[in-house]
Copies of this chain bind each other. A is one copy, B any other.
Amino acid sequence: MTTGGDTDAPRLSDAELSDWQSLVSLVLMLPAAIDSQLKSDAGMNGFEYHVLARLADAPQLALPMSDLAAATQSSPSRLSHAVDRLERAGWVERFACTEAGRRTSARLTDAGTGKLHDTVPGHVRQVRRLVVDVLTPQQLAALGEASRQILAASRSARPVPGSDGC
């Protein structure tokens, strides 16, 4: 009783299935391992760390909320909740940006900069232990390239903002 539509519902080959399942397992396991270290050593989760890191990279240590959401692959809502927590901790502050239509921006505070500096070493150690030191340089490069390829395809011609802090 097989349904005939092969082109309508193309199955994965054995090799494709195996590689996909490995990726699924990775995507389930990695965030848990990253979150666990950050939570116990720094009192923040992986997403909050990511937000601080993207702000630290930004021109004035600041980015409009929507640009920060795009940079962290998050919904506006998820980011807003996360910035609530980071602001409560004193690591980030919101301010009204008078350029480009009076939008809201988030800026890394001095306390946030300090906290990030304290947090980076342990996080980097965990990233090395879990990923970087476990692969050959070629494997890591291939992993990065495949990731960028997938991300680029999913963005499908949607431009990344690239603005500065305000």
Contacts and interface: CB of A to CB of B under 8 A. Distances in A.
Contacts of A111: none
A11 B154 CA distance: 30
A19 B151 CA distance: 13
A105 to B, nearest CB: 21
Contacts of A148: 22
Given A26-B151, A130-B153, 15 more contacts: A10-B128, A15-B140, A19-B141, A19-B145, A20-B132, A22-B147, A23-B143, A28-B74, A130-B150, A131-B150, A134-B149, A139-B142, A139-B145, A139-B146, A139-B149
- Number of chain A interface residues as a range: 35 or more
A12 B124 contact: yes
